[in-house]
């Protein structure tokens, strides 16, 4: 499955260091690469952030939303040139965001399970350190995730 491909990894993106700006930039990248409706994506991300922050600490956030028009989830990774104020759980700014875009309905159980494995992996500090070390290089970043989480289901 094409849940995670390297074309969905974006490094050192230059944008304003607010959460809204960062999410808008991220949504722009994802929607262009995957032919999705950008404004729906932005709204979805922001709505989820409004419920509670997805910045879970150590400079990483996991914005996510559901959207119509796709049948498989999309995993995308972005790193920011300027750390973003994400109102994270540990109050630290965010350098890396892992975006999860899921089908509005009818998501395949196996795909969702893969995403839950990725979420669990984010609690591993070694994995986070490896992400941080690779954040300026798209192929390295892709490799770190691919080798740590089996996304090939």
Partner 1 sequence: MKSFVGVTKCPVGVAHTYMAAEKLQKIGEAQGYQVKVETQGATGVEDGLTAADIQAADFVIVAADVEIDGENRFNGKKVLHTTTAAAIKDAGKLVADAQQLQTTQTGATTTTTTTSSNDPQQSPIVKQLLNGVSHMIPFVVVGGLFIALSIAIGGHPTANGMVIPKNTIWSAMNQIGSIGFQLMIPILAGYIAYAIAGRAALAPAMISAMVANTPAILGTKSGTGFIGAILVGFAAGYLVKWINTWPIPKDLRPIMPIFVIPLLGTGVITAVLILFLGAPIAWLMTSLQDLLTFLSKNPSTSIVLGLVLGAMIGVDMGGAVNKVAFLFGVASITAGHAQIMGAVAAAIAVPPLATGIATFVRRDLNTEEEKSAGVPAILMGLIGITEGAIPFATANPKHVIPSVIIGSAVAGAFGMLFKITDAVPHGGPIVGVLGATNHLLLYLLAILIGVAVAVALLTVFKIRHAKKQAITAK
Give me the active site residues, please.
64
Listing DSSP states for 122-144 in one string gives TT-HHHHHHHHHTTT-HHHHHHH
Q: Which is nearer to partner 1, 109 or 152 (CB)?
A: 109
Q: Which residues bind partner 1 (CB under 8 A)?
A: 48, 51-54, 56-57, 62, 64-66, 89-90, 100, 102, 107, 109, 112-113, 115-117, 119-120, 122-123
Q: Which is nearer to partner 1, 53 or 148 (CB)?
A: 53
Residue 149: other Cβ atoms inside 10 A: 19
C-alpha to C-alpha distance for 131 and 124, rounded to whole angstroms: 11
Q: Which is nearer to partner 1, 52 or 152 (CB)?
A: 52
Are the C-beta atoms of 62 and 97 separated by less than 8 Å?
yes
β-partners of residue 134 are none
Q: Which is nearer to partner 1, 25 or 118 (CB)?
A: 118
Instruction: Give the nearest distance from C-beta 39 to partner 1 in angstroms.
Output: 20
Instruction: Give the nearest distance from C-beta 115 to partner 1 in angstroms.
Output: 5
Instruction: Give the nearest distance from C-beta 121 to partner 1 in angstroms.
Output: 8
The single-letter DSSP state of residue 55 is E
Instruction: Give the nearest distance from C-beta 124 to partner 1 in angstroms.
Output: 8
The single-letter DSSP state of residue 108 is -
Are the C-beta atoms of 75 and 100 separated by less than 8 Å?
yes
């Amino acid at each position: 499955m094409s849940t995670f491909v390297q074309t969905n990894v974006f490094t050192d993106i230059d944008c304003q260091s607010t959460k809204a700006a960062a999410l808008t930039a991220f949504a722009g990248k994802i929607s262009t690469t995957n032919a999705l409706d950008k404004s729906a994506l932005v709204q979805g991300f922001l709505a989820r952030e409004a419920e509670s922050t997805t910045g879970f600490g150590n400079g990483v956030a996991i914005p996510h939303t559901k959207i119509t028009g796709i049948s498989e989830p999309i995993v995308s990774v972005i790193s920011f040139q300027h750390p973003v104020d994400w109102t994270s759980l540990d109050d630290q700014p965010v350098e890396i965001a892992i975006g999860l875009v899921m089908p509005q309905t009818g998501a395949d159980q196996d795909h969702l399970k893969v995403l839950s494995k990725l979420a669990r992996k984010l609690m591993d500090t070694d994995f986070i350190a490896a992400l941080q070390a690779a954040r300026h290089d798209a192929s390295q970043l892709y490799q770190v995730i691919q080798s740590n989480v089996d996304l090939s289901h």
